């Protein structure tokens, strides 16, 4: 095998100087490329910035339209739910009112208090009886019957007035 002789000092210096020159030239080219890119960015930067602003405005409009659509949809749903709940609550109040009226009516019936319907039926019967009596006896006795009826109505209230007064403990 053949061995190479070791490089001389001149060869090493020449190689190092060539390498340094190449590195210096590459660095100069990189620096110039950077300056060119910077200049190009300055020229095109305004255009790119304006394009980005325009795109942002378009995106904002689409986003607002979508948000308004969703808000309208949600408002509609809430409105229908509110009316549904209102009608259910109204139905429950009607049911509660009916139950209350029935219970009061039963309690009054158990106490012996006549209902408005009972009184109306009795009034109609009394009127019919008065007419039949008046027709059979004549007009003079009809006045007496009316007077008796008024007196009977007054006496119907008297038993409640005649109740014994409450006694108080001494």
Q: Are 134 and 142 in contact (CB under 8 A)?
A: yes
Phi-psi category of residue 112: left, alpha or beta, with phi > 0 → left and psi -120 to 50 → alpha = left
Helix (H, G, I), strand (E, B) or coil at 95: helix
Which single residue is written with the structure tokens 């549904």?
A: 84
Q: What is the pLDDT of residue 141?
A: 55
3-state helix, strand, coil in the chain (%, to 5): 85, 0, 15
pTM of the model: 0.33
**Mean pLDDT value of segment 26-46:** 84
Side-chain-side CA neighbours of residue 58 (13 Å): 6
């Amino acid at each position: 095998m053949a061995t190479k002789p070791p490089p001389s000092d001149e060869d090493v210096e020449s190689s190092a100087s060539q390498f340094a020159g190449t590195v210096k030239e590459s660095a100069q080219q990189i620096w110039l490329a950077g300056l060119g890119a910077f200049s190009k960015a300055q020229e095109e930067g305004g255009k790119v910035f304006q394009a980005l602003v325009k795109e942002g405005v378009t995106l904002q409009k689409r986003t607002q339209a979508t948000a308004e659509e969703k808000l309208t949809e949600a408002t509609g749903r809430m409105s229908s739910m509110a009316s549904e709940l209102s009608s259910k609550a109204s139905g429950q109040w009607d049911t509660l009112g009916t139950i209350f009226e029935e219970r009061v009516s039963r309690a009054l019936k158990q106490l012996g208090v006549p209902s408005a319907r009972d009184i109306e039926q009795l009034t109609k019967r009394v009127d019919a009886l008065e007419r039949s009596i008046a027709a059979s006896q004549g007009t003079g006795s009809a006045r007496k019957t009316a007077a008796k009826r008024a007196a009977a109505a007054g006496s119907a209230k008297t038993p409640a007035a005649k109740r014994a007064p409450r006694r108080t403990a001494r």
